Amino acid sequence: AQKVTQAQTEISVVEKEDVTLDCVYETRDTTYYLFWYKQPPSGELVFLIRRNSFDEQNEISGRYSWNFQKSTSSFNFTITASQVVDSAVYFCALSDLYNTDKLIFGTGTRLQVFP
Amino acid sequence: DTGVSQDPRHKITKRGQNVTFRCDPISEHNRLYWYRQTLGQGPEFLTYFQNEAQLEKSRLLSDRFSAERPKGSFSTLEIQRTEQGDSAMYLCASSLEAAGTEAFFGQGTRLTVV
């Protein structure tokens, strides 16, 4: 069965601290896609990044970086120098590639950044 | 394009009433998904359309739920004889037809059954 686990329910940091959100996934597929979405209080899920199973290169986008390790089935997300605007719930998701591409989400990590 | 839009944003209904939600996907997207999200949980898949064809329904989608996507454009999700357990955020997403492509989500419809 496919599953995504986000063990951190809530994280609180002070502005300018670095923070890492963990994501562990389970799948039997050899080809798959992983995603991170941000859900601010408004409710809309905002796409952040997509990574396919054949590309283990880490990615950096501004203050955001992602570390994908197939050996540990992890796809962690780091925010450097966090800001108050980063406060949101962050979801990691796995695409059910061979079955409609529907997303299987983790339970999310609520990040609170205090000034 | 303004993205995926959902209507209404909020709905309060009495138990036993029927409710209908609408989703307008991004115009060139032929894939459309409905998800349900309860408090403190991640979204859970409900159903999937490719153009006008409903190709998958989750076991979460009981007989009281029905979804349509006439002409492959907007979609509606109807819940009949609502129950308190139906209270949740209903999210719609759309995407292009390409493996592993990202889905774009609407702001959701928050349903409260009293």
Ranges of chain B whose pLDDT falls below 70: 1
Q: Is A44 on the interface with B (CB under 8 A)?
A: yes
> What is the CA A38 to chain-centroid distance, rounded?
8
How many inter-chain contacts (A to B, CB under 8 Å) are there? 68
Contact B43 A91 (CB under 8 A): yes
Return the closest-CA partner of residue B64 out of B42, B85, B39.
Answer: B85
Q: Which amino acid is at B47?
A: T
On whether any CB of chain A is under 8 Å from the CB of B25, the answer is no
DSSP assignment string, chain A: --EEE----EEEEETT--EEE--EEE---SS-EEEEEEE-TT---EEEEEEETT----EEETTEEEEEEGGGTEEEEEESS--GGG-EEEEEEEEETTTTTEEEE---EEEEEE-
Chain A residues closer than 8 Å to B42 by CB: 4, 91, 93, 105-108
> Nearest CA to CA, how far is A17 from chain B (Å)?
25
What is the reported pLDDT for B1? 55
Instruction: Give the per-residue pLDDT at A59.
Output: 87
- pLDDT recorded at residue A92: 98
Option in B44, B104, B107 nearest A42 (CB): B107
- What is the model's pLDDT at position A1? 82
pLDDT score recorded for residue A39: 96
Contact check, Cβ <8 Å, A45/B93: yes
Question: How high is the pLDDT of residue A78?
Answer: 97
CA B3 to chain A, closest CA, distance in angstroms equals 11
Residue ranges of chain A with pLDDT lower than 70?
none
Name the nearest CA neighbour of A54 among A39, A38, A72, A32. A32
B104 closest CA partner among A63, A7, A47, A75: A47
Residue with tokens 């492509």: B101
Which is nearest to B32 in space by CA: B45, B43, B19? B45
